[in-house]
Structure 1
Amino acid sequence: MASPSPKSPEQTEKNKQYDRQLRLWGDHGQSALEKSHICLINANALGTEILKSIVLPGIGAVTIVDEHIVSEEDIGSNFFLETTSIGLNRGSETLRLLLELNSAVQGHAVQEPTDQILKENPDFFKSFSVVVATALSEKIIQDLSEHLWENNVPFILCRSVGFLGSFRIQVREHAVIETHPDNEQPDLRLDVPFPALAKYLADIDIDAVDLKDHGHIPWIVILYKAVQKWQQVNANRWPMSRKEKNEVKEIISGFIRKDENDVPISEENFEEALRAVNTGLVPTFLPVKIQDLIYSSAAINLNSESSPFWIMCSALRGFVEAEGKGKLPVRGVLPDMTASTEHYVKLQNMYRNQAAMDAEAVYRKVQQIVTQLHRDSISEAEVKLFCRHAHDLHLIKGSSIAQEYQLNSPTATYIAKHLEEPDVMMVHYILLRASERFQSEHCRAPGDWEPEGDIAQLKTCVSKLLSDISCSPFPKDDHIHEMCRYGGAEIHSVSAFLGGCVAHEAIKLVTKQYKPVNNTFIYDGASTNTATFTL
């Protein structure tokens, strides 16, 4: 009878609740999420859908700024409001019902207009991790953007009108350490093995291994021995071309033992070695994008205001120039492979120990820097995480939304260029911007009262926007007619899709994991097409 499987450790209720997301961003990502405070301006259908997808995973706190009263139109588009909410403050009612989704989340509602808060209490927005805004006028967008830009608070501006939706992320600078690449290359160092690995590899003779142990040799060893044999007749070079790697494969095939009928014996570890030739033989090098980071002025010219990211980049540069001998710290992660437990654990410990030694060297340099700058210390855990992901660091340098709205802004040329492409999604960006301008001038959405009568006025707004960026008017008015037909209404399915997207981006910003959109995302619900632009 088969023995029972061992019991898994008991999970806490919290771990059970957040199990799937913990697999995405880990305990430290969840901790960052729970320490964050998100501000939402206007709890319309889109805003509520955004908060729903932030409250469910366990954001620490949310604040809704909304002075509007719940109307019948809100009930028709916002599934988180009830008919009994009509006549009550929209922010308070939305918050009450949203917090039922997760009792661990703290909530606050502010019933003052955004422009009034900016005027009377400008420090209000400084304390938030991210500010998300929907359905704002053109003037308030610019004022809020300038204020958040100056105070270095991430800002996400969202729109949902009819079948169209968009969001724009404004960050001055956003560093991502854990980018979670789809295809992470293994960091094996077979071309420059560290001392412990070099000794281990040298001590194994494939030809002398017993037949019963032959199928348990790690493929890393097989690959290394094949390259060594290849180098003997190739001036000690490292195989780079497809032809050279195919020659290495032939050597590996020659290692495979045969039975009495001279038929190769199938051994999984040798098959793994053959499959790993392309990825396992990538030479160890300092990626250009990482070199640009560690030698940038922000990493060289540190001051008391420098972020922990730049301090660690500076320490990493010191390591590369000294202990690393031009290489980054060892990642310390070994891919799965067919091998005996003894071999695999031994190999795994070697890579882990070398990674720990490299991270310790970087940590010492970090401590020296923070002491010189009289800064708060950076934890060893942060430095280890930084070193583990040093091969895939990512930095976004953003631009201001307020600047985008100014005449003759640098983005005008970019927008004009993309408008020249056929069936381009940039047309929807112009329509959404023109709709904002129409609302600022007429205090209502285009088509809200008279769809046919507003077409000419919206066309004027579109023409003015296009003129500002030196573009010709649209050859057809189809898109303008469609925007007026929407009448500023929100379609819940469009808001729900866009809300989920915005929530994902907000979570990326607060956890500092995964690459966020840089910087504009546009969605056309009628065609289900999406596009991103860097304005």
Structure 2
Amino acid sequence: MRPIYSNWKSRLFPKSDMSSPAPKSPEQNDKSKKYDRQLRLWGDHGQKLLGNAKVCLINATALGTEVLKSLVLPGIGSFTIVDGEKITEEDIGSNFFLENDSVGLSRAQVATQCLLELNPDVRGDYIDESAEHTLTNTQDFFKNFTVVIATALSEKVLIPLSKHLWECNVPLVVCRSIGFIGYIQLQVKEHTVIETHPDNQNPDLRLDCPWPALEEFLDSINVEALDTKTRSHTPAVVILHYFLKKYQEKYQSFPKTRQEKDALKNMIRACPVGPDGPPSVLEENFEEAIHLVNTCICKTTVPTHAREILDDKRCVTPTQNTAPFWVMCAALREHVEVRLFCKHSSELYVSRGNHCIADPPPSGGAFRMDQYDPDGPAAYYPVLRALERFAGECDAPPGRRDERIEPDAAEMKTAVARLLTEWNVHLQQGVADERVHEVCRYGGAELHSVSATLGGCAAHEVIKLITHQYKPMNNAFFYDAITCSSTTLCL
């Protein structure tokens, strides 16, 4: 007897769907070996998006170069550094990618040269001028990038840049590292994800509502009448479906509770032996079928987050300007199968930004009194935003010189209070004075170890934005190396 599983593909799928793929070119094979580990995470299609990405970094600080390092190594297409600063001895002390003999040279140029050594597949360029000058004179420049990363920007540059990128629908990642603290904030108008890669996802076997071809195939097999050899080669799903139908015939219901599922398991264990006599032990495929009862016996439903997407007006009434994601959502509503999209249709995810960074957090944001933790890392956020305002007004971070720590701290406290008023936020305990003093004491200095940690986190989020896989954070991350703690908030 031919094993029952030998022709299951031909019965369930047309021959046209089973054509052999074209052989890979030598270049593809080399890249597959080079990027083998990351291809396991986001696949060939994710790597292709990464290889076509154009990333812009504003300011080659220690944090900025760490972000780019973690993007160059996995193989982004190209990057451009915009930085008009010259390298100082302070830069040498805090930035691993700047060499000792490069003092006085263009920071953008030296960082570009060092980063390109990490991966010959990546193209790199630099612009030796400030972001403010570039934004003022060539506004369309930033429209051409997949994502823009901004580090150590003052408020007077950050605000027009964030507004411009928000209008252009270009993702912006703002990050800052100062002393032992830092933060990352994403600005994305809308980000769609098909492959979210959820943890502990239960397989969707559609056992309660199989499509006709599958149902015909499953019903054609009488598990109890199989000989020992064929029985041992029967897929666990076939066994599970067979006894599920017997359970429904006996109890006239679908097993939902633990007791009902235990009854189904006992039916599988008590499967009558075939013509060859009983096996010495329960076969592996029967054990697998019993194991699948807990995870696969469930009603097939559309998850809430996927239902919200399908009910979105962009999905219901697409136009000629509708993004491809929403076009496929509309197709899904009409039961048109698009291979990758349909495979992950239950995992669809949309993230919408509610405001650009230049605007104050909307009412009910992260700094409501019932959510604000005065001892958590996020308590530094108003202080860091005040620092960006101070740097824009004074052309230097607070506490740059020892004798300026106390006077600058007083100005910073005023700036923090003014910011909270602008945001219409009233904190019961306020922002602790010691946090303001701590930031002023740093004098704008970076610690490379802290920047390396934040850089890896920021690069991780950039890869999510580029590949449209995995859910990005929503929308700010705070890190405190003093207490080794971190938190995320939706601002």
Partner of 1:380: none
Partner of 2:16: none
Measured in 1, the distance between the counterparts of 2:455 and 2:36 equals 22
Measured in 2, the distance between the counterparts of 1:272 and 1:294 equals 35
Partner of 2:396: 444
Which runs of structure 2 are paired with 1:53-64 in the superposition (5 Å)?
53-64=70-81
Partner of 2:346: 391
Partner of 2:172: 155
For residues 335-389 of structure 1, give each alpha carbon's deviation from its aligned partner in whole angstroms, at most 9, with x where no partner exists: xxxxxxxxxxxxxxxxxxxxxxxxxx43xxxxxxxxxxxxxxxxxxxx3211111
| Mapped pair 1:12 → 2:29 | yes
Secondary structure of 1:165's partner?
Answer: strand
For residues 32-52 of structure 1, give each alpha carbon's deviation from its aligned partner in whole angstroms, at most 9, with x where no partner exists: 111111000000100000111
Partner of 1:416: 368
Q: 1:520 aligns with which of 472, 476, 490?
A: 476
For residues 191-238 of structure 1, give each alpha carbon's deviation from its aligned partner in whole angstroms, at most 9, with x where no partner exists: 112222222222222221123433332221222222222212322x21
Q: Compute the displacement of 1:473 (Å).
A: 5.5
Contact preservation (8 Å) 1:295, 1:317: no
Report the CA distance shift for 1:194/1:166 in structure 2 as closer, same or farther (over 3 A): same
Query: What code does the residue aligned with 2:414 have?
Result: T
| Mapped pair 1:489 → 2:445 | yes
Which runs of structure 2 are paired with 1:368-379 in the superposition (5 Å)?
none
Q: 2:436 aligns with which of 480, 485, 494?
A: 480
Secondary structure of 1:123's partner?
Answer: helix
Measured in 2, the distance between the counterparts of 1:197 and 1:263 equals 29
Partner of 2:231: 214
Q: Moved runs in structure 1, 4+ residues, more than 6 A?
A: 260-264
Query: What code does the residue aligned with 1:47 have?
Result: G
Measured in 2, the distance between the counterparts of 1:479 and 1:41 equals 27
Measured in 2, the distance between the counterparts of 1:104 and 1:430 equals 40
For residues 244-296 of structure 1, give each alpha carbon's deviation from its aligned partner in whole angstroms, at most 9, with x where no partner exists: 112111211211759x9999733222211111111111222222222221221
Partner of 1:529: 485
Query: What code does the residue aligned with 1:308 have?
Result: P
Q: 2:284 aligns with which of 268, 286, 305?
A: 268
Q: 1:29 aligns with which of 39, 46, 59?
A: 46
Measured in 2, the distance between the counterparts of 1:435 and 1:33 equals 34
Structure 2, unmatched stretches of 5+, are: 1-23
| Mapped pair 1:298 → 2:314 | yes
Measured in 2, the distance between the counterparts of 1:104 and 1:171 equals 28
Report the CA distance shift for 1:246/1:391 in structure 2 as closer, same or farther (over 3 A): same
| Mapped pair 1:92 → 2:114 | no
Contact preservation (8 Å) 1:170, 1:399: no
Q: 2:411 aligns with which of 453, 457, 460?
A: 457
Higher alpha-carbon deviation: 206-215 or 70-79:
206-215
Q: How many residue pairs align between the two structures? A: 463
Measured in 2, the distance between the counterparts of 1:418 and 1:75 equals 43
Measured in 1, the distance between the counterparts of 2:415 and 2:463 equals 35
Report the CA distance shift for 1:211/1:261 in structure 2 as closer, same or farther (over 3 A): closer
Measured in 1, the distance between the counterparts of 2:128 and 2:398 equals 26
Query: What code does the residue aligned with 2:191 have?
Result: H
Q: 1:504 aligns with which of 460, 468, 485?
A: 460
Measured in 1, the distance between the counterparts of 2:235 and 2:295 equals 15
| Mapped pair 1:105 → 2:122 | yes
Q: 1:470 aligns with which of 426, 430, 437?
A: 426
Contact preservation (8 Å) 1:466, 1:473: no
Contact preservation (8 Å) 1:46, 1:134: yes
Report the CA distance shift for 1:30/1:294 in structure 2 as closer, same or farther (over 3 A): same
Query: What code does the residue aligned with 1:122 have?
Result: Q
Measured in 2, the distance between the counterparts of 1:419 and 1:299 equals 34
Report the CA distance shift for 1:247/1:109 in structure 2 as closer, same or farther (over 3 A): same
For residues 376-407 of structure 1, give each alpha carbon's deviation from its aligned partner in whole angstroms, at most 9, with x where no partner exists: xxxxxxx32111111111111113334533xx
Contact preservation (8 Å) 1:257, 1:264: no
Secondary structure of 1:255's partner?
Answer: coil
* TM-score (structure 2 length as normaliser): 0.89
Query: What code does the residue aligned with 1:451 have?
Result: I
Measured in 2, the distance between the counterparts of 1:424 and 1:100 equals 39
Q: Compute the displacement of 1:501 (Å).
A: 1.0
Measured in 2, the distance between the counterparts of 1:69 and 1:438 equals 22
Q: Compute the displacement of 1:169 (Å).
A: 0.7
Q: Compute the displacement of 1:301 (Å).
A: 2.2
Measured in 1, the distance between the counterparts of 2:57 and 2:114 equals 15
Q: Compute the displacement of 1:20 (Å).
A: 1.2
Secondary structure of 1:451's partner?
Answer: helix
Report the CA distance shift for 1:116/1:12 in structure 2 as closer, same or farther (over 3 A): same
Higher alpha-carbon deviation: 37-46 or 290-299:
290-299
Contact preservation (8 Å) 1:463, 1:473: no
For residues 138-181 of structure 1, give each alpha carbon's deviation from its aligned partner in whole angstroms, at most 9, with x where no partner exists: 12111000000001111101110111111111111111111112
Which runs of structure 2 are paired with 1:309-348 in the superposition (5 Å)?
309-319=325-335
Measured in 2, the distance between the counterparts of 1:419 and 1:197 equals 50
Contact preservation (8 Å) 1:256, 1:265: no
Q: CA RMSD in A?
A: 2.4
Q: Compute the displacement of 1:472 (Å).
A: 4.2
Secondary structure of 1:167's partner?
Answer: strand
* TM-score (structure 1 length as normaliser): 0.82
Partner of 1:373: none
Measured in 2, the distance between the counterparts of 1:83 and 1:219 equals 64
Measured in 2, the distance between the counterparts of 1:293 and 1:459 equals 44
Partner of 1:351: none
Query: What code does the residue aligned with 1:518 have?
Result: N
Measured in 2, the distance between the counterparts of 1:413 and 1:505 equals 21
Structure 1, unmatched stretches of 5+, are: 1-8, 320-360, 363-382
Query: What code does the residue aligned with 1:392 have?
Result: E
Query: What code does the residue aligned with 1:398 have?
Result: G
Query: What code does the residue aligned with 1:511 have?
Result: T
Secondary structure of 1:414's partner?
Answer: coil
Query: What code does the residue aligned with 1:297 have?
Result: K
